[in-house]
Amino acid sequence: MSPFRSRSKQILTALLAAALLAAVPAGAAENDPGSGRTSLKLPRFASLRAAEVNVRTGPGTRYPVEWVYVQRSLPVEITAEFDVWRKIRDVDGTEGWVHQSMLTGKRTVMVRDALEPMRRNPAADSPAIARVEPKVVGRLLNCRDDWCRVEISGLRGWMQRKHLFGVFPDEKVE
């Protein structure tokens, strides 16, 4: 084997290695804003940005639309990221992929299963200022211990965290 061919292989190998390193910079998956990925932890909650959101079976337009959400501000849990696609889970546990542009970081919550009181203060003996039906969506303002302050139809009050989808049991929300 001639030294020229051996040297050519070394140069070619070095060029390929450099090209691979340049194509995926260190930390790009988590820190490059152009990559579509974030450094935010998973899972996390977000809400639907649009009144109509296609949910696909996989992360890309080549995957079929499995269903369509038709409610803006619906809280969803982001469980995975792939490029500009987010795998989400809804209150019923249904999962699918949506484009990141269809989500917003504005936090909302949904009342889970029963008619629940909204209270004036974060205490079980505080007067109820409203009774909220299941599946009603409101804006999450903050959480303190087992209580979250929410705004629903312009009314602000406190609801027990365990009755809300859109906030984790021990999550701090300020």
Domains of the chain: 39-106 (2.30.30.40), 109-165 (2.30.30.40)
Q: Which residues is 168 bridged to in the sheet?
A: none
pTM: 0.78
Per-residue pLDDT 10s for the chain (174 aa) are 444 344 444 433 333 333 333 333 333 333 344 556 678 999 999 999 999 999 999 999 999 999 999 999 999 999 999 999 999 999 999 999 999 999 999 999 999 999 999 999 999 999 999 999 999 999 999 999 999 999 999 999 999 999 999 999 999 999
Sequence-distant (6+) residues with CB within 8 A of 74 are: 47, 48, 90, 108, 110, 137
Residue given tokens 């949506």 in the structure block? 98
